[in-house]
Structure 1
């Protein structure tokens, strides 16, 4: 499953970079293209901006910090995934999403010192984001679900199963 997760990471990172390339080539900075409307209400738009900080431009200008933290998280996640490579598919997919998103934004930070953002969700005042951000958030939520509800459940089941077998063997003896 570890090799499959590396393939997932590569594909998602490539998708992120291809979308960003298309945005940079086809949408002027600040231009807004309405994509989804519901009646007279704008729901989703594409716009091209760059951000040298994190969400809501926090830590703007702290490029080395915003490079260092994702590198550490990516390495830690890869090591964890490798050690748990026989584990849950949900765990593997969630970490693959987080890693791919981290790499996608890391490429931007290293290459152009800022991140290309383009998705504008209009109904609420929310920062403009990108595909890599979606990968990180969805992956983090799925990983939290895995940790809270699933981690150790299979192990507990296996250990209770072996305890039952031991008890049966003791009764037979």
Structure 2
């Protein structure tokens, strides 16, 4: 249940902030939040991360649907522990947020730009997906440390 509640919260926040950006800023308008460090930079991204796969709208919709299906499957089949549920909820909410943009607008609304490191412009959905995947990977690596590696070689 936590997966779906978190996904709805992430989706709602993502769509609310994107709506505010779309209705109060012009495309390519930049508003410094912390000059030379953090800027609101409204762009419409037809591709994936870093503009890759530009204009591959239907492929990216398919990928999002596969990710959403995988999250729902893992949640229903395995009933993961809370940490994994948080990660899955972040991924699900982010995937739904960007999927909505692709279906409705044909492009994803991006607006967060770390100018200090010239990091590509992204959005809350992208952040949620990234944090969710990192959390799942860290939990998986941590749980793998508790497993034995097989028979000990010290018995010779």
> TM-score, with normalisation over the residues of structure 1?
0.81
1:55 match: 49
Q: Which one has more relative contact order, counting CA pairs under 8 Å at least 6 apart?
A: 2
State yes or no: 1:12 paired with 2:10. yes
1:124 match: 117
Aligned positions of 1:69-108 closer than 5 A: 69-85=63-79, 87-108=80-101
Q: For residues 103 and 58 of structure 1, what CA distance do their matches in structure 2 show?
A: 19
Answer with 1 or 2: which has the greater Rg: 1
- 3-state secondary structure, aligned to 2:110: strand
1:25 aligned to 19, 23, 26, which one? 23
1:165 match: none
- 3-state secondary structure, aligned to 1:95: helix
1:148 match: 141
Q: CA deviation at 1:151?
A: 6.0
- 3-state secondary structure, aligned to 1:67: helix
Q: CA deviation at 1:152?
A: 9.1
Asked whether the equivalents of residues 2 and 85 of structure 2 are also in contact (C-alpha less than 8 Å), the reply is: no
Q: For residues 72 and 34 of structure 2, what CA distance do their matches in structure 1 show?
A: 37
Q: CA deviation at 1:4?
A: 2.3
The count of residues paired between Structure 1 and Structure 2 equals 147
Root-mean-square deviation (CA), in Å? 1.4
Distance 1:105 1:73, change over 3 A: same
Q: For residues 50 and 131 of structure 2, what CA distance do their matches in structure 1 show?
A: 18
Q: For residues 71 and 33 of structure 1, what CA distance do their matches in structure 2 show?
A: 33
Q: CA deviation at 1:126?
A: 1.6
Q: For residues 98 and 43 of structure 2, what CA distance do their matches in structure 1 show?
A: 14
Distance 1:107 1:151, change over 3 A: farther
4+ aligned runs moved over 3 Å, structure 1: none
- 3-state secondary structure, aligned to 1:127: coil
